[in-house]
Structure 1
Amino acid sequence: MATQTRTRNTQATRNKRSEAAQDEARGSDGRFKKSGFSIEGKGAVIGAAAAGLAVGLAANVARKLAVQSPTILSGEWDQALANEHKLTLKVFDAIEATSEAHPTKRAALLMNLKHMLAKHALEEENTIYPALREAGEIEAADELNKDHGYVKQYLYELTETPKDSPAWIAKVRQFRSDIEKHMREEETTLFPRLRAKLSAEKNKELTVARNKEGLKLA
């Protein structure tokens, strides 16, 4: 009998502890809490995180549109690309205005140049050059693509060369000379020829496609 009494007392103690633990786990409204946060509290945190993500995505889209807008607003695809050429040459002007005493500024301008040329190359290689091939300008499209390979080589060499070296600015000037020839051929010969071969609808489609590609790296 004594053993049965002790067993019942032990079970009663456990039940009381369980009830106390449940009371502690409940909030003032009687609902359970988890890991120190009520279910409603956790939902609020998740909601705030989702709202923050939405704001961040919206800001990123706005930034991309701001970067791409100068060329989007330029008009048709050929006008937009010509405008990007002009903006690129302005960066070259800024670089050439620096001296060996400003290696940090040169490095920053080079980073800007890399980004501009990468975006521009993506637009041309994914939309304009394929259109040239479809229009029968296969050799011309291949040559333009080959030129882009040399652009990447120049950018690599300028990255690796000390910015306070006389060789660095000499390489910049050589690069500019070569890229200006590439730009002139596109603007004065190949792009007008392609535009003339395409219908008004096809030119419009090419403009839209170019803008979409540009936004990827804007």
Structure 2
Amino acid sequence: MIAAAAVAGAAVGAAANLGRKLMVQGLTSNGNWDEALAAEHRLVLGIFDKIEATADDQTFIRAHLLVQLKHALVKHAAEEENVIYPALREADDAHDADALNGEHGYVKTFLYELEKMSKDSPAWIAKIREFRALLEEHIQMEEKEVFPRLKQSMSEEQNATLTAAMNKEGFAMA
């Protein structure tokens, strides 16, 4: 009886985890890789909007939104670092791949610093705004320059393969 309950509990847990992964990755799995990444960029900026709309005394909400931001950015970074940036290198664009990958290091530093800071401090929201400005520059470079150039350099089949690989990576991280 206990073993059956344990098996049933494990099955429910596995199904819930699969459902969560499908929900998280499903938001961006339609369309091409560049459209999916742009949708993730909008999702991240939306989380920043919610954070910036909080008051200093809403520390629980800020902490919760920071967890959401971190999860979205970690998943997004894995897709880019493990799929998109290697494709850039293959397309003879190692310079941009390395520059963008380096900026991801700053993202991780910002997340670490924000986690450690007091969420009710005016310095915390100032750090959020500084972080957002860095990300907006990063996003602009990707969406307006680097990604269109990469997409145009590849065939339709190569773009489809890149989309599938990115979705697989995103699903693993979701």
Per-residue CA shift, 1:105-132, capped at 9, x if unaligned? 1111111100000000011001000000
Change (3 A) 1:47 1:108: closer
Paired with 1:55 and 1:97, the residues of 2 have a C-alpha distance of 36
Per-residue CA shift, 1:133-156, capped at 9, x if unaligned? 000000100000100000011111
Give 1:60's aligned residue: 17
Give 1:99's aligned residue: 55
Q: Secondary structure at the match of 1:72?
A: coil
Q: Secondary structure at the match of 1:71?
A: coil
Which of 194, 200, 210 is equivalent to 2:150? 194
Give 1:89's aligned residue: 45
The normalised TM-score by structure 2 is 0.95
Give 1:168's aligned residue: 124
Change (3 A) 1:163 1:46: closer
1:178 is aligned to 2:127: no
Which of 110, 113, 124 is equivalent to 1:157? 113
User: Which stretches in structure 2 are left out of the alignment for 5+ residues?
Assistant: none
Higher Cα Rg, which structure: 1
Equivalent position amino acid for 1:211 in 2: N
Deviation at 1:55, TM superposition (A): 3.2
Per-residue CA shift, 1:43-75, capped at 9, x if unaligned? x654553344233222211221011111012x1
Aligned residue-pair number: 174
Paired with 1:48 and 1:100, the residues of 2 have a C-alpha distance of 45
Give 2:78's aligned residue: 122
Paired with 2:9 and 2:62, the residues of 1 have a C-alpha distance of 36
Equivalent position amino acid for 1:55 in 2: V
Give 1:32's aligned residue: none
1:109 is aligned to 2:65: yes
Change (3 A) 1:159 1:48: closer
1:211 is aligned to 2:167: yes
Q: Secondary structure at the match of 1:162?
A: coil
User: Which stretches in structure 1 are left out of the alignment for 5+ residues?
Assistant: 1-43
Matches within 5 A, 1:130-145: 130-145=86-101
Higher relative contact order (CA 8 A, sep 6+): 2
Q: Secondary structure at the match of 1:50?
A: helix
Paired with 2:93 and 2:82, the residues of 1 have a C-alpha distance of 15
Paired with 1:62 and 1:163, the residues of 2 have a C-alpha distance of 31
Same amino acid, percent of matched pairs:
57
Matches within 5 A, 1:24-39: none
Per-residue CA shift, 1:148-173, capped at 9, x if unaligned? 00001111111111111111111111
Q: Secondary structure at the match of 1:81?
A: helix
Please, what is the CA RMSD of the aligned residues? 1.2
